[in-house]
Amino acid sequence: MNTNALRTVEARIREQAAAFCASGNVPGFVAGVHHAGEQIVVAHGTANVATGAPMLDDTGFLFGSVTKVMTTTLVLQQADRGLLDLDTPVVTYLPEFALAEAGAADKILVRHLVSHTNGIDADLYFPDARGRDALKAYVTGLASTCGTLFEPGEQLSYSNGGMIVAGRLLEAVTGVPFNDLLEREVYGPVGMIHSSTSAEQAILRSTAVGHFPDPETMAARPTGMFTLPDTWGPAGGTPIGTVADLLAFGRTHLAGGVSPSGTRVLSAASTASMRQVSYDMATPNVPPMGLGWVRYPFGDTTVLAMSGASPGGVSLLCVVPDHDLVFAAYGNTPDALMLQDQILRWLLSDHLGVPIPALITEVEQDVDLTPYVGTYRSDQLRVDVSVVDGQLEERTTYEPADASQERIFTEFAGGTTSAPPQRYTAIRPGLFAPAGYPLETFDGYLRLLLVSYHDVRDGRARFRNGGGRLTRRA
């Protein structure tokens, strides 16, 4: 690829970032692209409005759930070394692993943890433990606190709990604390020289903080919480690094498990297995899941992706194997995901020439809404679904388990835990779009805004899926 083409990409990202940040109260944004041996990084705006520190090419940020691909890489490394078997029950290696329902944990295989098919109902479980025993405390707490949403392998539901259990499993089979293992087995061999695993390390260098819109002025204000508790490390609560570091990690997966420096990080077979479909719900709003990676189809082109929410910020890592491209980005308000989606779609369509077909091509009329009406629940979350003016209306309520859970979740959400009712229009039976959005909105990463309902029995859906997460009919 000629260098001029990537310079065009650099100019385009700079232009898009400046326009979006100015119009959307996003203080700062940083993005990078590696394509066919060439690489660029673009930084714009402010890393922290409280200090006025600029967002720089090498400003650090929280990886958020992008960490889940790293956790999965660590699990596959141990499988390569014979310390783990993906198709063995987790309790074989981690006997203390249990859930509130007797015997439920015994059915969960190692594979279920990293393919988001484990059914652990713990998506909003935030025990506030710190230090080297944090993951042990998390697993201990599951036994009395969290049940299951479905039988392992029966459904797909984005699982923070599964990844955290995977982190504790890694500690058990290696004898090494998760953070030390991440630094030794991923950061080091990949060449992620600016990455860390704690706020104490990150403060020693330039690091961005998240922001939320002020309820009165809508101006961006810094988050009051930098990281989630240490218990959430393997799911993305604490790891921090730069765009260049994420590009290096993406390039390692692009190259079949070999880092940019030539170090083999993961076997070619395990790298390939992470890309293969583990579960497909066959609905447009939930892309097929690999191991760690989410497989976003854009026509015939697959984008391996994972986004990562942190308090007031969002990261994104995308690998496009068919076109030798890696894209990484971070913006320090949650709305930055829309900018990341814009850039990804432009990279695919204009830079790579990948056709992006419409995800929704037709809308059915007179869809029966009655199978979806009812109350759906998951850990500390309730969704009440009714029919209003011919549309579905959803009311989402956060139901904290205790004061500690409420404090952590409220800080993570920027001080608010309630949302106004949301109306949805039918696309077809079981699939709905938020009212007022043009259908082309959902052609890219924002297809996650669609809501689907599954497993209709006796005229009633058993599950609702929003943002890749299941709630179960109460």
Which residues, 6+ apart, have CB-to-CB distance to 243 below 8 Å?
Answer: 30, 31, 32, 41, 57, 328, 329, 330
In this structure, the answer to whether residues 149 and 209 fall within a common structural domain is: yes
Whether 55 has a pLDDT exceeding 80, the answer reads yes
In this structure, the answer to whether residues 239 and 180 fall within a common structural domain is: yes
In angstroms, how far is the first alpha carbon of the chain from the final one? 55
For 473, the enclosing helix (H) or strand (E) is strand 469-473
The DSSP result for 16-72, as a single string, is: HHHHHHHHHT--EEEEEEEETTEEEEEEEEEEETTTTEEP-TT-BEE-GGGHHHHHH
In this structure, the answer to whether residues 335 and 451 fall within a common structural domain is: no
CA distance 78 to 266: 10
Is residue 120 within 8 A of residue 148, CB to CB? The reply is yes
Residue 362 lies in a domain: no
In this structure, the answer to whether residues 337 and 408 fall within a common structural domain is: no
Residue 71 lies in a domain: yes
Whether 218 has a pLDDT exceeding 90, the answer reads no
Taking the CA atoms of 174, 179, 180 and 184 in sequence, report the sign of the dihedral they define. Answer: positive
CA distance 397 to 199: 31
Residue 77 lies in a domain: yes
The residues with which 197 forms a beta bridge, in sequence order, are none
pLDDT, one tens digit per residue, over 284-332 is 999 999 999 999 999 999 999 999 999 999 999 999 999 999 999 999 9
The radius of gyration of the chain from alpha carbons, rounded to an integer in Å, stands at: 21
| H helical segments located in 255-335 | 268-275
Which whole number is the average pLDDT over 59-67?
97
Q: Indicate the number of domains in the chain.
A: 2
In this structure, the answer to whether residues 375 and 327 fall within a common structural domain is: no
The token duo for 289 is: 């899941």
- Enter the pTM of the model: 0.97
| Nearest residue to 52 (alpha-carbon basis) of 28, 24, 16, 30 | 28
CA distance 263 to 331: 30
Class of residue 24 by CB neighbours under 10 A (exposed 0-12, middle 13-18, buried 19+):
middle
Q: What is the pLDDT of residue 2?
A: 62
Q: What is the CATH number of the domain that holds 271?
A: 3.40.710.10
Which whole number is the average pLDDT over 128-143?
95
Is residue 232 within 8 A of residue 64, CB to CB? The reply is no
User: In this predicted model, which residue has the larger pLDDT, 275 or 215?
Assistant: 275
In this structure, the answer to whether residues 375 and 349 fall within a common structural domain is: no
Domain-ending residue, one of 353, 386, 405: 353
In this structure, the answer to whether residues 86 and 140 fall within a common structural domain is: yes
Which whole number is the average pLDDT over 180-185?
98
Q: What is the pLDDT of residue 216?
A: 78
What is the maximum span of the chain, computed from C-alpha positions, in angstroms?
61
Pairing mode of beta strands 391-398, 381-388: antiparallel
Is residue 424 within 8 A of residue 433, CB to CB? The reply is yes
Q: What is the pLDDT of residue 24?
A: 78
Residue 358 lies in a domain: no
Residue 268 lies in a domain: yes
Which whole number is the average pLDDT over 139-168?
96
Q: What is the pLDDT of residue 400?
A: 92
In this structure, the answer to whether residues 377 and 338 fall within a common structural domain is: no
Which residues, 6+ apart, have CB-to-CB distance to 365 below 8 Å?
Answer: none
Q: What is the pLDDT of residue 14?
A: 97
pLDDT, one tens digit per residue, over 405-437 is 999 999 998 887 778 999 999 999 999 999 999
Q: Containing domain of residue 443, as a range?
A: 370-473
Q: What is the pLDDT of residue 466?
A: 96
In this structure, the answer to whether residues 231 and 298 fall within a common structural domain is: yes
Whether 252 has a pLDDT exceeding 80, the answer reads yes
Domain-ending residue, one of 353, 381, 405: 353
Residue 406 lies in a domain: yes
In this structure, the answer to whether residues 349 and 374 fall within a common structural domain is: no
Residue 359 lies in a domain: no
Domain-ending residue, one of 353, 385, 420: 353
Confidence class of residue 1 from pLDDT cuts 50, 70 and 90? low
Residue 363 lies in a domain: no
pLDDT above 70 coverage of the chain, percent: 99
Which whole number is the average pLDDT over 66-94?
98
Under DSSP, is residue 270 helix (H, G, I), strand (E, B) or coil?
helix
In this structure, the answer to whether residues 309 and 450 fall within a common structural domain is: no
**Least confident residue range of 116-125, 198-207, 301-310, 375-384:** 198-207
In this structure, the answer to whether residues 347 and 376 fall within a common structural domain is: no
Residue reference for tokens 């609702």: 464
**Least confident residue range of 206-210, 215-219, 272-276:** 215-219
